[in-house]
Structure 1
Amino acid sequence: MLKKRKLPPLNSLKAFEAAARTRSVKLASEELSVSASAVSQQIKTLEQWMGFRLLKRGPNSFTLTDKGERYLQQLTVLFDKLDIETAKVIHNFKKTKLRVSTLQSFAAEWLSPRIKSFRETYPEIQLELLTSDYLADLASEEIDLAIRYGPGGYKGVNEEKLMDEMIGPACHPDLLKSGNVLSDYTLLRDSGGPEGIKLTLERWLNKTTEGPGNREDSIAFSDTHLLINAARQGQGVMLGRSVLIADDIRQGTLVPVMTDWQQSPFSYYLVHSDIRGLSETAKYFRRWLLKEVEKFEAQLPASLAVPD
């Protein structure tokens, strides 16, 4: 049976998707190797074909209409899938591999609950998550992307900041019902991670309270994931990190002990080797990850939001 598809012009679709994704006609023109005026004209052609506007145009910029935003989300995925399927045909239908290195705590508390949506969107990509608290050699270990937590300025890589975070004491809500002061609780200490990026509750308490932060009544954990689980079980007070426990705060399994949380001196960075460059599958993961970060930050409780 003949199947007649009603599809818009391909060049118009490519122009709109590139401009909408990058939020720039100029960047779209560079990506597509055409002039900016050609990109603009192709988008107008697409709007005429569809019968409604996809962009709200201003003097020097544009925003997407609601329909334009919804169309972009589907269009980018379709183009990515077409790219992957084409590569599979060329390379004899082999699955495309993607190796991503990240911190154990970030993988367990933030990335793992969200990775299902990436797998559903890109089932053709064979994802391998490598977890370690130490910096991997991306080039020699053939790692496509890494998510790092620290001060930035890493050598031998291209880096892009993903998000900042807030820090402050947090615990199970039942602990606060006792009426005790902060210094009465057992301290849950993080003893793991590379030197230089440790965030200890004792150090934070010494800076922000009058109570002693270095006490015998404490439990030390070399694994941040175990530390957070201990706090969930009501074993004591931990130095909460907003990126790792925001879901717990929303669900009520953990609560801030104090309202005046401070911005962490460290941030999350997405990096890749400046020798190997960024593979196509890595670009898909990056786009997906940035969208997830955007959604996560939009849903953050006001008390955990990083100040502008």
Structure 2
Amino acid sequence: MPAFDLPPLGALRAFEAAARLASFKRAAAELLVTPTAISHQVRQLEARLGVRLLDRSPRRVALTAEGQILYEAAASGFAEIDRAVARLRHPRANPVLTLSATPAFLSQWLVPRLPDLQARLPELELRLQASNQIVELRPGGVDLAIRYGKGPFAGVDATPLRQDVFAPVCSPNLKLTRVEDLERARLIHIDGWVTPRPAPDWRRWCEQAGVTGLDIEGGLRFTDSQHAVQAAVAGQGVAIVSLVIAADALASGLLAAPFAETLPGETYAFACPPALSDRPHVAALRDWFVQALAAL
């Protein structure tokens, strides 16, 4: 029996090209076949799956809801194959590693430190993937990840890097020095916390700090901590954020943490497949993360 129950590769290529280019004619030109052949392949694919993938009109084609699901998977799969073929055709002397982490960790913490990382490990080519999802780690795909949670993380070797802490932060221009000053400040909220749990929100912080009578419902609301940090830097209010994510803004004076009371977060960990754990370049990168996060 075959390992995968997949439609013919030719039909998938025809569908992916037609969906991406929104045209049978342009897909045919790209794949060096006729528009009729593209249309035939897509119809065969739809018949095999029992769903309509593309809506046709005289001027263009458009994805259906079912087609969008297949298109995302096909585009991702073809891109991964293309990268693998490129590696085989043009092998690199230097090690190449793909690392996944949350968008907030990458943009707010890692990217500003890339010059130091490149100076310490000049032979390493690091490719960064931003994702809030837990990505499967495997050699040749996404090799490594900065995981965030309680652990243990199944199927990987994980090295704890730093325990996270959350605290209210704001622009120094707001001149907040006492808890009572929060009554004249706008609160910034981050909705939809998945990790950590319970959420590091204003209700928990007020309970822990013994603050009563503060209106914790009003204010600005974001679904992403990066936007909350940016709003706080711009002086638009006070946000409870990770002190790891806000470390550079705090060190530069763009943000201040005026209150001593904090909330616990989860642990950042360097995760890799066991097969990669002992490789010298992986060990060197792990050591760099350990030292860089310990220096905060």
TM range (shorter): 0.5 to 0.7
Alpha-carbon distance in structure 2 between the residues aligned to 1:157 and 1:245: 28
- Report Cα offsets for 1:90-115 as digits up to 9, x if no partner: x9753321111111111111111111
Q: Which residue of 2 aligns with 1:259?
A: 260
Change (3 A) 1:277 1:142: farther
Q: Specify the SS of the correspondent of 2:286.
A: helix
- Report Cα offsets for 1:256-280 as digits up to 9, x if no partner: 2312334x14111111123654543
In structure 2, give the amino acid aligned to 1:223: D
Q: Which residue of 1 aligns with 2:239?
A: 238
Q: Does 1:270 align with 2:270?
A: yes
Q: Does 1:174 align with 2:173?
A: yes
Equivalence map 1:159-308=2 (5 Å): 159-176=158-175, 181-192=181-192, 194=194, 196-197=196-197, 198-211=199-212, 215-262=216-263, 264-274=264-274, 277-294=277-294, 296-297=295-296
Q: TM-score, normalised by structure 1?
A: 0.59
Deviation at 1:230, TM superposition (A): 0.5
Q: Specify the SS of the correspondent of 1:123.
A: coil
Question: Contact 1:105/1:224 (CA < 8 Å) preserved in 2?
Answer: yes
Deviation at 1:125, TM superposition (A): 2.1
Deviation at 1:196, TM superposition (A): 5.0
Alpha-carbon distance in structure 1 between the residues aligned to 2:222 and 2:111: 21
Alpha-carbon distance in structure 2 between the residues aligned to 1:140 and 1:282: 12
Q: Specify the SS of the correspondent of 2:246.
A: helix
In structure 2, give the amino acid aligned to 1:252: G
Mind listing any 5+ residue stretches in structure 2 that lack a counterpart?
Answer: 1-89
Alpha-carbon distance in structure 2 between the residues aligned to 1:141 and 1:135: 17
Alpha-carbon distance in structure 2 between the residues aligned to 1:96 and 1:140: 12
Question: Contact 1:149/1:266 (CA < 8 Å) preserved in 2?
Answer: yes
Q: Which residue of 1 aligns with 2:57?
A: none
Change (3 A) 1:95 1:212: farther
Change (3 A) 1:289 1:214: same
Q: Specify the SS of the correspondent of 1:252.
A: coil
- Report Cα offsets for 1:56-82 as digits up to 9, x if no partner: xxxxxxxxxxxxxxxxxxxxxxxxxxx
Q: Which residue of 2 aligns with 1:152?
A: 151
Alpha-carbon distance in structure 2 between the residues aligned to 1:261 and 1:195: 16
Q: Which residue of 1 aligns with 2:106?
A: 107
- Report Cα offsets for 1:159-212 as digits up to 9, x if no partner: 111011332211111212698632442221122553554432333223323335
Change (3 A) 1:193 1:131: farther
Alpha-carbon distance in structure 2 between the residues aligned to 1:167 and 1:178: 18
Deviation at 1:238, TM superposition (A): 0.7
Q: Specify the SS of the correspondent of 2:229.
A: helix
Change (3 A) 1:218 1:92: closer
Alpha-carbon distance in structure 2 between the residues aligned to 1:233 and 1:271: 34
Q: Specify the SS of the correspondent of 2:188.
A: strand
Mind listing any 5+ residue stretches in structure 1 that lack a counterpart?
Answer: 1-90, 298-308
CA RMSD of aligned residues (A): 2.8
Number of residues paired by the alignment? 205
Change (3 A) 1:213 1:269: farther
In structure 2, give the amino acid aligned to 1:235: Q
Q: Specify the SS of the correspondent of 1:164.
A: strand
Question: Contact 1:202/1:213 (CA < 8 Å) preserved in 2?
Answer: no
In structure 2, give the amino acid aligned to 1:248: A
Deviates more, 1:221-230 or 1:115-124: 115-124
In structure 1, give the amino acid aligned to 2:245: L
Alpha-carbon distance in structure 2 between the residues aligned to 1:185 and 1:114: 32
Change (3 A) 1:158 1:215: same
Deviation at 1:281, TM superposition (A): 2.3
Deviation at 1:247, TM superposition (A): 2.5
Alpha-carbon distance in structure 1 between the residues aligned to 2:137 and 2:92: 26
